[in-house]
Amino acid sequence: MVSSIQADDAKLAVRLPIHIDVPEHFLTAADYLVAVDSINVCLNELNKRAFEGKLECSLLVFPNEEGSFKGITGVLAKGVKKSGQVIVITGALGGFIGFAETDSFKGLVKGLTKHEVNYYQMGENVGSMLHDMIVGLFTIENEQLEKFIPHDINLDKAIKAKSEFYHMCIKNQRVRGVGFDDSENFPIQRNRFAFHTSKDRVRPVASDFLIYDAVIISPVDVDKDIKWELEDRVTKAPIKAYMRDDAFKKSFLNGEYPLKQSRDDDHMTVLVEYKKQEKNGEVEIKEVSIGTVYSFNDTEIIPIPANLPQNVVFVRPSETPMDKLWGRK
């Protein structure tokens, strides 16, 4: 996002109409916000994923014009962030952005705009490139996008935003067509809207593993797949997790690891797995589970391995005042 926009900056924005064919030139505020937000998400995701977040750019909204419903937005790319400064682009792009030379970037630009990167280096500015890439995203059907968007340039969130725009158009029976220029042709007709939508886009993400020394808040003493409730003794953070250590579960249900009869806390040392996935460009946790129980109260079940894998984090108890004084770990 451009940190501070002046009137002269706005004049540099590349005009991007959101042209919607409806019988009368109005939309509900909710529908219009979906349209603008979807364009804005695509702009930000292109900057983040294709330009590695190095552009300072914003989507501006200008007054509406008569003729169907035409919301006028504009793409302002003020410059490239470099060493804490903003370098204003007046011509060549490649001198400032090294990734412009990568095959992935070149393929994405060619697929979305039908132009080579050099087309924009030879006099056009980066705002025009972003404009054309956004128009490409919104006018090329998703099945075709899949064929040329590089796997290492993750535009899942952008495609989800585009899908939400076209879902809005499908839901609004008044919308007959869509375009992104001033013509009255509306190249995306209603019977093609569905081809611009996609189901949720899911990618696998490596799990996180943490070893906790935890207080037992709510154990599961029945043979059902219910979450145990624990509290990390270090951070006091709650942990709700399924028990996947079948050997411990069987022994616990058989009474081999009884809970204390006093008011003292029960505690256990456990390996917790946070299974994750990326859904529409956002990482989320699918499941939290206890994979291994190392100890229960004062009983060691199995020792914690001396050499833990690099992807396992041991949440260690807080240092005591004497540890801090003597520099002990």
Nearest to 112 by CA among 62, 43, 164: 43
List phi, psi (to 5°) of 238: -75, 145
Both structure tokens of 168: 């809005």
Residue 91 confidence (pLDDT): 33
Q: Which CATH number fits domain 203-317: 2.40.170, 3.40.720, 2.40.50, 2.60.40?
A: 2.40.50
**CA dihedral in degrees (97, 98, 102, 108; nearest 10)?**
-10
Q: Which residue is it, tokens 């128009």?
A: 135
Residue 7 confidence (pLDDT): 72
Taking each helix axis as running N to C, give the angle between helix 156-171 and helix 29-45, from 0 to 180 degrees, rounded to the nearest 10: 160
Tell me the β-bridge partners of 79: 56
pLDDT in tens, the chain (329 residues): 555 677 777 777 888 888 999 998 788 989 999 999 999 999 999 999 998 888 888 888 876 655 554 566 666 565 545 433 333 333 334 444 556 678 999 999 999 999 988 888 644 578 888 999 999 999 999 999 999 999 999 999 999 999 999 999 999 999 999 999 888 889 999 999 999 999 999 999 999 999 999 999 999 999 999 999 999 998 899 999 999 999 999 999 999 999 999 999 999 999 999 999 999 999 999 999 999 999 999 899 999 988 877 777 776 554 433 344 444 44
Which SS3 state, helix, strand or coil, does residue 15 take? Answer: strand
Q: How far is CA 256 from the centre of its chain?
A: 45
Question: Where do the structural domains in the chain lie, given as residue ranges?
Answer: 7-199, 203-317
Residue 153 confidence (pLDDT): 94
